[in-house]
Structure 1
Amino acid sequence: MGRLKVTMTDVKGETRTFDNVDEGLSLMEVAKAHGVEGIFGDCGGGCSCATCHVYVAAEWMKKVGQPDDIELDMLDMAAEPQANSRLSCQIKMSAELDGIEVTVAPSA
């Protein structure tokens, strides 16, 4: 497994970069492991709560791809959904996503 880089900006505007991320981990797992403010992951990654809502930086959207129908339903219930909204539990780290940048969405 490779060691990958993720940059996250939390709900308070603090940006942190993690450069020791294992391939296969979800962005939610990374955020929770590092105490990123605003990522709760109440459902544990089951795509059923929208408490891990993030905005993916524009240049990464093509690589991340669009949400499936189940994720879209959850995003409809999230606070302030945008075109670049995703649930971080549904984004698994891979070599293709090395260096990804996301911003935690407001929860209310």
Structure 2
Amino acid sequence: MLKGKENVWAAAAVHAVGRVNFLDDPSQSPHCKARAIYEFFGIAESTGQNKSKEIRDILNMGPMSPEWSLPSQLINNPMVWMLQVDGIVVDIRQAPIELQKFAFEEGYIPFIPSKQR
């Protein structure tokens, strides 16, 4: 990442974070197609896609990666809320408030989901 043009890396970074957060999904608000990102930065789509992939690989960014999700998207990201309780994976959003509070206090979840609804 030390080589190349700044506008190429900027476009790729915007696309990489946008991809994790489903920026190209028209049902989301805001939304934007990848082509528009690359046009804005003045680069070829193929160049942007390649650099975006490079960033995502280096930073281990995948769809719904909790550490790369926008705060506004966390409540809808199932990867944030799946916890193992007594050997069973549960969606902590469906658990009793006491268990949610415990998970928050232990740092397993970013906030208490029942208080966000």
Fold match by TM threshold 0.5: no
- When normalised by structure 2's length, the TM-score is 0.23
Larger strand fraction of residues: 1
Structure possessing the higher relative contact order (Cα contacts under 8 Å, 6 or more residues apart):
1
- When normalised by structure 1's length, the TM-score is 0.24
